[in-house]
Every structure is written in structure tokens, then in C-alpha cells.
Structure 1
Amino acid sequence: MSRPQCSRCLRPLTHCLCPLIPSLDSRTRVLLLQHPSEVNHALNTARLAALGLNNAQLLVGEVFEDLPAVLDVPGYQARLLFPADDAQALHAYAPGDEPLLLVVPDGTWRKARKMLHLNPLLAALPRVTLAEGGVSRYRLRKAPAPGALSTIEAIVQALDVLEEPLSFEPLLKPFEALIDGQIAAMGKEVFQRNHGDRSIDS
């Protein structure tokens, strides 16, 4: 028998994260495109990010038929947060800059690439990237590459750069609570034995 679930954060009611989820305003509009396989992921950080940001939208799927309309938001310039040789490093807005519609794929690298392949409009967007050297707080999974971040961490890092001196750190509170809960559930000894001092990704 499944445990009662919070309809907002999708966590069991006994572990509802809603009290920790902030309500943050941002100049940047964040569009999260979540692969269906991520919806039931234990962390589901894309959903936490969408709930914590007032100017954010979360769409779930592999092929996004409504993409032309979703990307055409007056007053914003669409950019895809995804690595590429010609990706531009994010930098703080200058006065008068048009804010970004930051499109963030949520899925494994393989699934994110597939989403780009299935949505040519997405693949054609100019790309932006984060500065190297970010360290993930997700201590429960080996990172596929140095600097790999979970979706919510990547969004926080991007917004902190774009909208400095504002800090979007409060967005990570429910994420950190989830990780702490998982570590507590497995027990400290098991965590130390299996995960030690690794840096990790989601």
C-alpha cells in the first residue's frame, strides 16, 4: 500500500518539503524540460526548482509540441543551458539587458541529448554554460564528470551569476533536506563506507 503523498512536492506526507520551498522572484525566466523518467526520481530537483521560483515553468515529456509558443515570450531572449563548443559563459546582466529565458533540460546526459535530437528547435537555441569548478552537494551518487551538478544546483549557480548580487541559495534548502534524509535512512556507517568523500551528481 502506497503512503499518502503531497500533491505539490510529490513527497510522502510524512516527509513533505513544502515548508522548506521558498518563493523567489527572478528577472530570468526558467523553463525546465523534464524527461519523463525523472518524474519519480527520489530527488526530482527540477520540480523543487520550479516550485521555488515564481518565474519558472516545468514541462514533462520527450517531444514538446508547444515549444514554439513556450519559447516566444516577449521581453526575453531564449538560451539553452547545455554544453557545446560554442556555448557562451553566463555573466551578470548589464543595465538594459533583456533577461534570459533559460531553458534547462532535466535528465541524464544521454536522455537530455535525445530530447535535443527530438526537438530541433531546442537544439538550435544559442547555448550558455556555467563556469567550471562547481562542486555538487549531492553526496549520494558518483559524478559522471568533474563539476557535474544536479539540475537545481545548476539553476542556482546560473541565477547567482546572472542576477548578482542576489543569492538564490534558499532554493537548495529542500534539496539538502532530501539528501540529509536519505543519508539518515541508510545510516552513517553505510554512507561513509559507500560514499566517503566523493563529490556527486544528480
Structure 2
Amino acid sequence: MSRPQCSRCLRPLTHCLCLLIPNLDSRTRVLLLQHPSEVSHALNTARLAALGLVNAELVVGEVFEDLQALLNPPGYRVRLLFPAEDAQPLQPYTSSDEPLLLVVPDGTWRKARKLLHLNPLLAALPRVMLAEGAVSRYRLRKAPGPGELSTVEAIVQALQVLEKPASFEPLLKPFEALIEGQIAAMGEEVFQRNHGDR
């Protein structure tokens, strides 16, 4: 028997995060393309980001039939947030810049690459990347390397650069609460044994 679930954040009602999810506006439009395997993931940070941003949309799938329409909102330049040799570092907007539609694939690196492979329109987009060396707050990962961020962390970092001096840190509150909850559930001793000494 499954536990009752919040219909908004999809967490068990006893662990609902909705009170921590902000309602932030952004000049940038964020389009999250989520691999179906991520929907039931314990963290599902793409959903947290989509819920916390007014100008965001989350679409789940492997092949996106309506991708052409999704990639063409009027008044936006489209960029894919995904590393590549020709990816440009994100820069703050100037007053004359048209805002970005920032397309963010959500999944493991392998699944995200698969989304690009299955959707040639996506793979053909000009790419942007985050500054190197960012450290994840996701303390439960087995081996988080520099720059290995959760989806919500990557979005926050991108928006902080683009829309400087605006702060999007409140988007990380439900993410941090989720991690604290998981650490509490496993117990401090187990956490230290498996994830300490970082």
C-alpha cells in the first residue's frame, strides 16, 4: 500500500515540501525536458525548479513531438544548457539583450545525452555552460565531482549569472530540506560511514 502523496510536489504528505517552494519570477524562461526515469526519483529536483519558477515549464518524455513549438516562444533566444566544446559560458544580460529560453535536459548524463540523440532539434541548439568548479550541495552522491550539480542547482547557478544581482537561492530550500530528511532517515552514523570524509 502506497503512502498518500502531495499532488503538487509528489512527496509523501508527511514530507510535503510545498511550504518551502518559492514563487520566483525570472526574465529567463526555463524549459525542463525530463527523462521519464527521473519522475519517480526521490529528489526529482527538476520538478522542484519548475514549481518554484513562474516562468518555467516541465515536460516529461524521450521523444518530444511538439519540440518545435516548445522551442519557439516569441521574444526569446533559445540556448541549451549542456556542455560541449563549442558551448559558450553564460553571461549576465545587458539591457538590450533578448531574454533566453534556457532548455535544460534532466536525467543522468547518459539519459540526457539520449534525449539529445533522440531529438535532433535539441542537439542542434546553440549551447551554453556554467562556470567550471561549482560544488554541489547534494551530500548523498557517491562521488560528486566539481561541476556535477543537480538540475535545480544548475538552474539556480545559471539564473544567478544571467539575472545578476537577482538571487534564486530560495529555489534550493526544498532541495536542502529533502537532503536533510534523507540524512535523518538513514541516521547520522550511516551517513558518516557512507558519505563522510568528503
TM norm. shorter chain > 0.5 = yes
Q: Which residue of 2 aligns with 1:31?
A: 31
1:45-124 counterparts in 2 under 5 A? 45-124=45-124
Equivalent residue, structure 1, for 2:180: 180
Distance 1:111 1:151 in 2: 13
* Residues 69-125 of structure 1, C-alpha deviations (whole Å, 9 max, x = no match): 011111101100000000000010001100000000000011100110000000000
Please give the alpha-carbon distance, in whole angstroms, between the structure 1 residues aligned to 2:63 and 2:197: 38
- Is 1:137 the counterpart of 2:137? The answer is yes
- In the alignment, structure 2 segments of 5+ residues that lack a partner are none
Which segments of structure 1 move beyond 3 Å, counting only runs of 4 or more?
none
1:110-154 CA-partner distances (Å, limit 9, x unpaired):
110011000000000000000011000000012464221000000
Residue in structure 2 matched with residue 190 of structure 1 by the alignment: 190
Q: Figure out how many residues of one structure are paired with residues of the other and give that number.
A: 198
TM-score by length of 2: 0.98
Q: Distance in 1 between matches of 2:23 and 2:165?
A: 18
User: Following the alignment from structure 1 to structure 2, what is the Cα–Cα distance between the partners of residues 168 and 43?
Assistant: 19
Name the SS for the 2:26 alignment partner. Answer: coil
Question: 2:99 & 2:40 partners in 1: Cα distance?
Answer: 32
Over aligned residue pairs, what C-alpha RMSD do you find?
A: 0.8
Aligned residues of 2:136 and 2:144 also touching (Cα < 8 A) = no
The AA in structure 1 aligned to 2:183 is I
Matches of 1:127 and 1:59, distance apart in 2: 19
Change (3 A) 1:197 1:54: farther
Q: For residues 57 and 185 of structure 1, what CA distance do their matches in structure 2 show?
A: 31
> Runs of 5+ in structure 1 lacking a partner?
none
Structure-1 separation of matches of 2:102 and 2:143: 23
Identity %: 85
Report the more deviating stretch, 143-152 or 104-113: 143-152
